[in-house]
């Protein structure tokens, strides 16, 4: 076959064909970017009517529910119903939340008589703990007490459930069936959304 019988595009060098393909692709790309970016000329907007309809008032954004709460637990007082022995008894108590220690009340004498029935934490006693809860989460608050007696050692425990949006119910701490010690711990709670 002679050169005159060959089709025209077989006679154009390959570089020229590649250049044409590149220019077509580049033009398409530029047009797409202009459309996406809002750079392409748009038809003029329709004129606004003379009397515009009233725009309804914007609805205030509803407050977003907090993703978690920081709850501050403060021991207010301990009600001594039975100290476990005749006379006074030395007890120490551990307070934990969700299996983690919050604070420990050091050994102190407790008396179940009228004059010593309500015991407030000493200023030197740790009596505040902080926990973090997500909405709807419940956390077990546990109090464990023990005596340091040489002859007989007593122990007592009690639990309650903490929820961020409710106060903590008083926690009854019992030793045995109550004869080995019975206390009621009263806490105040302050929940702060985070």
Residue 64 pLDDT exceeds 70:
no
Domain membership flag for residue 35: no
What is the residue range of 178's domain?
69-193
Distance between CA atoms of 112 and 82, rounded to whole angstroms? 5
Domain membership flag for residue 64: no
Q: pLDDT of 80-115, one tens digit each?
A: 998 888 888 889 999 999 889 999 999 999 998 888
Radius of gyration of the chain (CA): 39
Q: Give, in order, the Cα–Cα distances in Å from 75 to each of 37, 53, 155, 171, 188.
A: 61, 60, 20, 11, 7
Question: How long, in residues, is the chain?
Answer: 194
Residue 150: predicted pLDDT: 72
Q: pLDDT of 7-60, one tens digit each?
A: 666 666 666 777 777 887 878 878 877 777 655 455 555 555 555 556 666 666
Residue 139: predicted pLDDT: 92
Q: Give, in order, the Cα–Cα distances in Å from 131 to each of 2, 26, 32, 162, 174.
A: 92, 60, 54, 10, 24
Q: pLDDT of 128-187, one tens digit each?
A: 999 998 888 899 999 999 987 677 788 999 999 998 888 899 999 999 876 788 999 999
Please report, for the domain that includes residue 86, its CATH number: 2.60.40.150
Q: DSSP assignment, residue 67?
A: S
Domain membership flag for residue 7: no
Domain membership flag for residue 109: yes
Domain membership flag for residue 103: yes
Domain membership flag for residue 112: yes
| Number of domains making up the chain | 1
């Amino acid at each position: 076959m002679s050169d005159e019988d060959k089709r025209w595009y077989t006679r154009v060098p390959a570089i020229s064909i590649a250049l044409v393909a590149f220019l077509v692709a580049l033009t398409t790309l530029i047009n797409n970017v202009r459309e996406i970016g809002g750079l392409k000329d748009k038809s003029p907007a329709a004129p606004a009517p003379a009397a515009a309809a009233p725009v309804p008032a914007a609805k205030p954004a509803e407050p977003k529910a907090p993703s978690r709460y920081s709850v501050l637990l403060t021991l207010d007082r301990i009600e001594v119903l039975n100290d476990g022995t005749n006379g006074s008894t030395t007890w120490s108590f551990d307070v934990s939340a969700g299996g983690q220690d919050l604070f420990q009340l050091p050994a102190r004498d407790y008396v179940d008589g009228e004059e010593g029935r309500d015991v407030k934490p000493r200023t030197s006693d740790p009596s505040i703990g902080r926990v973090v809860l997500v909405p709807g989460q419940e956390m077990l608050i546990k109090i464990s007490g023990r005596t340091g007696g040489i002859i007989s050692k007593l122990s007592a425990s009690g639990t309650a459930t903490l929820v961020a949006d409710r106060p903590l119910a008083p926690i009854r701490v019992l030793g045995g069936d109550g004869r080995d010690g019975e206390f009621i711990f009263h806490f105040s709670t302050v929940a702060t959304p985070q």
